[in-house]
Amino acid sequence: MSDMSKNNLVTIGIPTYKRPELIINSLKSLEKQTTKNFQIFISVNGDERNNSGYEEIEHLYRNNNKVSFFYQNKNIGSIKNFLFLLSKCQTKYFMWLADDDTISPECLEILVDVLDKNKDAVTAVPYWERIIDDKIDLIVPSHFHQDNILSRIIKFCAKTDDVFFYGLHKTENIKKCSFKDFWKPNKELISQWAYIYIFDLLFQGKIIFRFDERAKWTNNHSSLKQYSIDRKSNLFSNFKKIIKEININYQYIFKIIKWKKFHFLPIMFFLLTLFFFRKLFKLAKNKIFKKKK
């Protein structure tokens, strides 16, 4: 363990790519945290041609031993950039933060308190403050506080979101999660990969939400995110979506086997089949209504 990690409780990982002008806001929000027991790792994706703006920011923080920059010098892909930061973490807790998002001043302190007091929890999530243009929504994210693993899984299958991704995680648990690349033709798609991580975490413990508006993660949609979501409605696009759903459900089944919860399999097959066909029906319904318009 590095000397820096020994002196900190939390590592905050910020993956970034060609957006040095945005990362300043994220760093400023972290400077305002009421707890100072954390370090910041920034992984700059892309080749050296994209480094100049980041090197200027690194120079600004040259005397701040809490901030470390890593330069990939080639495009390793968004998912690998996220996972690189996790691999570098040696502290008890870990959090991802997008390069254009922020957290409220007391967010980190409150989430650390949640995990310190709940030994059976693996993740603590704050409120989700979503900003789209000038509209601000304060959202309670999906959370899974049930004592029973199967109850958490059933709730996850019924309805979930991926806000947990920007919560605070126990490092030993989040490092036990894994994601296999999507099958072709979705090989380059990265949206929804976080759901596979949630599923892995649910076998290990609770994902707890703290009903405290002082703890907020602000998701800024006013700028273009680093990943693309296929919103086309042609035949090939719909085929890709169906393949993706089958692929995701396959990975859920694989996780049940991984955690040796074989008695969950019949229930999971039923639930996943039910929700898979529900999504297909919704997809077909949307397509029919679009045609009528």
- For 210-221, the pLDDT digits (tens) are 999 999 999 876
Residue 22 gets which letter from DSSP?
Answer: H
Residue 3: is its pLDDT beyond 70? no
| Two tokens, residue 113 | 């308190």
H/E segment holding residue 94: strand 93-96
- pLDDT confidence of residue 17: 92
Q: Is the pLDDT of residue 256 over 70?
A: yes
Which residues are CB-contacts of 123 (< 8 A; sequence separation ≥ 6)?
115, 164, 167, 168, 169, 170, 173, 174, 201, 205, 206, 207, 208
In eight-state DSSP terms, residue 182 is P
CATH class of 1-100: alpha beta
Q: How confident is the model at residue 287 (pLDDT cuts 50, 70, 90)?
A: low
Range of lowest pLDDT (146-150, 231-235, 266-270): 231-235
Q: How far apart are CA 273 and CA 249, in angstroms?
A: 9
